């Protein structure tokens, strides 16, 4: 049930009309020749693949799930074939390095691709999605030999990749991990241990799987400073680069989960599996963070994808389902009842979904472009500024967008009423799939600590001030425009509140570091709204200029006005909660709980 129409027009609005990505690409030698037609062709073709090939497998895949038998994992019907199509079309190589067979397109285009894939089938998309993270880690930290052996296979999609971090007794706290790596005479390592929650850890979609595994060398320091990163292939490539001996890394069982049923979440047993070190000894965590940051942006895109698909279906249902009359008098007297879209609270839920989807698309596209600048811009200052923005705002991409996605997919269920709870209609799957996005790749609580404790207070607010200046400049440039004041005034207001709140929390944290943890989660939502206010104001500016030309822009303005009137005000509560401090959290003794 349900349907999916790729939001190509909305993506084009963001990429071309607001961000003007082409101009930015022109400033980077690596991407200077990318024109609007290329960009449009990529998202249109990706939209077709997502809606025509992946979307029809989403519900059947959820129902069927993955099957495990004696270390072998079978994915649902059609998954393998869809992956073969994906590989044949060259999608895995989109933003990979041409030196290793990639197409060398900007990461921001890959990001747009992933919105589409995630809307259509999140669990399927995790198979190629994790490969890309593995590609980036090896690309950034691998030796030339490792790069030559593995990157072309990852870029082509012939082989897929995983991240093997978590163990039964440690998830957030990787310093506790126990998996051991013994050096071998040939320069390799024999790795033994148990990893859990390994997404796409075993499957039948590709001939080989490359596991990026965190483990400890003999005598390594305790904690996070004694962890190294290894690449451990399921089949060890032979001298010709083809798959060779089966490595003793295998899937012991699959987890039964609330959602993402069709992605294999594996317990992986390593019993002297042979691996090669990526990066330097004991510095595996830093190397892994290349993957982690990409993965966090990726999780944000999952949140966006689910918000969009839930919105589309809730909107269609709300226009179709007849139930009760409008409180202000029948709107469709010729029908047995009015379609439920007439009811203000139904509109509130739909507009919430829409405003969060469009805000997330705008913000995530901007940050993906910042990553492109960080990676490819010739000017060092531009690279540094972009890197700071990316570091500062990655927790917002990951946590704010996914928290919104959970709220929005639940609105989708609520719009459907009782039918929303029934599997057949497809709406409850989006809730179940969205739930994990608030947890994995660092829980949203961990993101909030990263944001306030490390990214903001950690550099005495330097990165935050820099991003604040972007907002201030926008406010100053547009505050003189009477038509922009309805957007610029609340933006300026929330930016000031954030500044004040950040100062207050910084002072308190100097007295007691627990004040950071006591405020971080509501604080994160306040900053998220500041970011969304900025991007909604930017979208409104473009829409105002073209308002008379097309209803598309009128709808954009209506959504912007809804955002500022109805969503931004939740910050009033969160600011109070952030300011309420640590005292009442500690007033309860542990043994009273």
Phi/psi at 451 (nearest 5 deg)?
-65, -55
- Judged by CB under 8 A, the stretch of 41-49, 232-240, 378-386, 422-430 that binds its own copies is 422-430
Q: Which of 37, 144, 218, 592 binds its own copies (CB under 8 A)?
A: 592
Q: Is 516 in the site for its own copies (CB under 8 A)?
A: yes
- Report CA 107 to chain centroid distance, whole Å: 14
DSSP state letter for 179: -
Q: Looking at 428, 456, 468, 533, which residue binds its own copies (CB under 8 A)? A: 428
Rule CB under 8 A: choose which of 169, 225, 246, 500 binds its own copies. Answer: 169
Catalytic, 441? Answer: yes
Of residues 183 through 202, those in contact with its own copies by CB under 8 A are 196-197
Letters for 298-337 (x = contact with its own copies by CB under 8 A, - = none) are -----------------x--xx--xxx-xxx-------xx
Closest CA to 446 of 486, 399, 379, 393: 399
Taking the least distance from each CB to its own copies, the nearer of 104 and 445 is 445
- Residue of 398, 338, 327 whose CA lies nearest to 363: 398
Residues 437-456 that bind its own copies (CB under 8 A): 438-440, 443-445, 448-449, 453
Of the pair 207, 320, the CB lying nearest its own copies is at: 320
The DSSP 8-state label assigned to residue 453 in this structure reads: I
* Angle value at C-alpha 127, between 370 and 257, nearest 5 degrees: 110
Q: How far is the CB of 261 from its own copies (least distance, A)?
A: 10
Pairing mode of beta strands 72-74, 265-278: unpaired
Q: Which is nearer to its own copies, 69 or 256 (CB)?
A: 256
Please identify, among the stretches 137-145, 227-235, 454-462, 514-522, the one whose residues bind its own copies according to the rule CB under 8 A: 514-522
347 binds its own copies (CB under 8 A): yes
As measured in angstroms, the least distance from the Cβ of 454 to its own copies is 11
Least distance in angstroms from the C-beta of 587 to its own copies? 4
Instruction: Record the tokens describing residue 515, joined without a space.
Output: 């004040």
Report the nearest approach of its own copies to the CB of residue 112 (Å): 23
**Residues within window 125-164 making contact with its own copies, judged by CB under 8 A:** none
Going by their DSSP bridges, the two strands 67-69 and 72-74 should be labelled as: antiparallel
Give the residue among 91, 149, 141 at the shortest CA–CA distance from 117: 91
| Residue 546 near its own copies by CB under 8 A | no
**Least Å distance between CB 420 and its own copies?**
7
**171 lies in the site for its own copies, by CB under 8 A:** yes
- Considering beta carbons, is residue 37 or 591 the nearer one to its own copies? 591
List the one residue from 26, 80, 257, 472 that touches its own copies (CB under 8 A): 257
Residue closer to its own copies by CB (options 20, 504) is 504
Per-residue contact string for residues 550-589; x = within reach of its own copies by CB under 8 A: -x--xx--xx-xx--xx--xxxxxxxxx--xxxxxxxxxx
Rank residues 311 and 535 by Cβ distance to its own copies and give the closer one. Answer: 311
Instruction: Report in angstroms how near the CB of residue 196 gets to its own copies at its nearest.
Output: 8
Give the total of residues touching its own copies (CB under 8 A): 101
Euclidean distance between CA atoms 345 and 279, whole angstroms: 54
User: Which residues in the 66-125 window bind its own copies by CB under 8 A?
Assistant: none
- Cβ atoms within 10 A of the Cβ of 571, count? 24
Select 36 or 421, whichever has its Cβ closest to its own copies: 421
**Angle between helix 344-376 and 380-395 (nearest 10):** 140
User: Of residues 334, 418, 480, 482, which one binds its own copies by CB under 8 A?
Assistant: 418
Closest CA to 30 of 289, 374, 287, 362: 374
- Shortest distance in whole angstroms from residue 484 CB to its own copies: 17
Sign, CA torsion 268/250/227/389:
negative
Q: Return phi, psi of residue 135, to 5°.
A: -55, -50
CB of 516 to its own copies, least distance (A): 6
DSSP for 10-74 reads HHHIIIIIIS-HHHHHHTSGGGTT--HHHHHHHHHHHHHIIIIIIHHHHHHHHHH--EEETTEEE
Quote the least distance from Cβ 529 to its own copies, whole Å: 10
Q: Is 405 exposed, middle or buried (0-12, 13-18, 19+ CB in 10 A)?
A: buried
Q: Taking CB under 8 A as the criterion, which residues in 377-406 touch its own copies?
A: 406
Catalytic-labelled residue, pool 136, 308, 441, 515: 441
C-alpha neighbours within 13 Å on the C-beta side of residue 467: 27
Nearer to its own copies, 325 or 383 (CB): 325
Task: Out of 24, 125, 166, 389, name the contact with its own copies by CB under 8 A.
Answer: 166
Bridge partners of 283, per DSSP, are 227
Residue 408 within binding range of its own copies, rule CB under 8 A = no
Nearest Cα to Cα of residue 162 among 208, 98, 99: 208
For 106, the token pair is 């900007």
Please, which residue, 79 or 317, has the CB nearer to its own copies?
317
Q: Which helix (H) or strand (E) segment is 531 a member of? A: helix 514-546
Distance between CA 485 and CA 188 in Å, rounded? 63
Among 35, 345, 379, 476, binds its own copies (CB under 8 A): 345
Helix 55-64 to helix 107-120 angle, to the nearest 10 degrees? 60
Query: Which among 568, 575, 481, 585 is positioned nearest to 531, based on CA atoms?
Result: 568
Spell out the alpha helix ranges (H) of 321-400: 344-376, 380-395
Interface residue with its own copies among 26, 348, 483, 497 (CB under 8 A) is: 348
Out of 420, 426, 490, 492, the only residue in the binding site for its own copies (CB under 8 A) is 420
Output 71 or 172, the one with its CB closest to its own copies: 172
Stretch that binds its own copies, among 112-120, 268-276, 454-462, 510-518 (CB under 8 A): 510-518
Would you please indicate which residues are annotated as catalytic (active-site) residues? 441
């Amino acid at each position: 049930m349900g349907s999916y129409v790729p939001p190509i027009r909305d993506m084009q609005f963001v990429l071309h009309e607001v961000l003007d990505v082409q101009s930015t690409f022109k400033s980077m030698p690596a991407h200077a020749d990318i024109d609007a037609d290329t960009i449009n062709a990529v998202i249109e073709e990706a939209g077709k693949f997502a809606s025509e090939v992946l979307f029809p497998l989403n519900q059947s895949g959820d129902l069927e799930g993955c099957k495990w038998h004696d270390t072998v994992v079978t994915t649902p019907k059609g998954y393998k074939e869809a992956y073969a199509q994906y590989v044949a079309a060259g999608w895995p190589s989109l933003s990979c390095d041409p030196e290793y067979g990639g197409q060398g397109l900007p990461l921001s285009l890959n990001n747009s691709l992933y919105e589409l894939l995630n809307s259509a089938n999140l669990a399927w998309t995790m198979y190629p999605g994790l490969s890309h993270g593995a590609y980036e880690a090896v690309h950034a930290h691998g030796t030339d030999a490792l790069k030559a052996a593995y990157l072309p296979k990852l870029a082509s999609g012939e082989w897929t990749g995983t991240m093997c971090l978590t163990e039964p007794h440690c998830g957030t706290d990787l310093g506790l991990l126990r998996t051991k790596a013994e050096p071998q005479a040939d320069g390799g390592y024999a790795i033994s241990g148990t990893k859990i929650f390994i997404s796409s850890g075993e499957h039948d979609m590709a001939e080989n799987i490359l596991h990026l595994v965190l483990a400890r060398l003999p005598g390594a320091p305790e904690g996070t400073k004694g962890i190294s990163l290894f690449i451990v292939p399921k089949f060890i490539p032979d001298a010709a680069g083809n798959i060779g001996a089966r490595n003793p890394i295998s899937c012991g069982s699959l987890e039964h989960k609330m959602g993402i049923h069709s992605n294999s979440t594996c317990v992986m047993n390593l019993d002297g599996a042979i691996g090669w070190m990526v990066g330097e000894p004991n510095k595996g965590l830093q190397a892994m963070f290349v993957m982690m940051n990409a993965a966090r942006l990726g999780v944000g895109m999952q949140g966006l994808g689910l918000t969009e698909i839930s919105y589309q279906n809730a909107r269609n249902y709300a226009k179709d389902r007849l139930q009760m009359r409008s409180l202000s008098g029948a709107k469709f007297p010729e029908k047995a009842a009015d379609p439920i879209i007439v009811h203000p609270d139904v509109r509130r839920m739909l507009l919430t979904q829409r405003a969060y989807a469009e805000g997330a698309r705008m913000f995530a596209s901007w940050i993906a472009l910042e990553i492109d600048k960080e990676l490819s811009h010739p000017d060092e200052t531009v690279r540094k500024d972009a890197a700071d923005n990316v570091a500062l705002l990655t927790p917002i991409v990951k946590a704010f967008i996914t928290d919104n996605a959970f709220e929005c997919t639940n609105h989708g269920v609520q719009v459907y009423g009782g039918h929303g709870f029934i599997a057949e209609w497809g709406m409850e799957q989006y809730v179940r799939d969205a739930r994990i996005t608030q947890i994995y790749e660092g829980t949203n609580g961990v993101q909030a600590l990263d944001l306030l404790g490390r990214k903001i207070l950690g550099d005495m607010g330097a990165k935050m001030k820099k991003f604040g200046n972007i907002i201030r400049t926008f406010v100053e440039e547009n505050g003189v425009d009477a038509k922009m004041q309805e957007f610029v005034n609340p933006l300026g207001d929330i930016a000031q509140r954030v500044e004040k709140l950040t100062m207050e929390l910084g002072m308190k944290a100097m007295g007691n570091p627990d004040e950071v943890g006591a405020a971080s989660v509501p604080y994160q939502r306040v900053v998220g709204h500041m970011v969304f206010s900025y991007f909604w104001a930017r979208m409104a500016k473009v829409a105002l200029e073209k308002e008379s030309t097309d209803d598309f822009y009128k709808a954009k303005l209506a959504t912007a006005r809804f955002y500022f009137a109805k969503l931004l005000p939740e910050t009033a509560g969160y600011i109070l909660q952030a300011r309420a401090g640590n005292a009442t959290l500690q007033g309860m003794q542990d043994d009273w709980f």
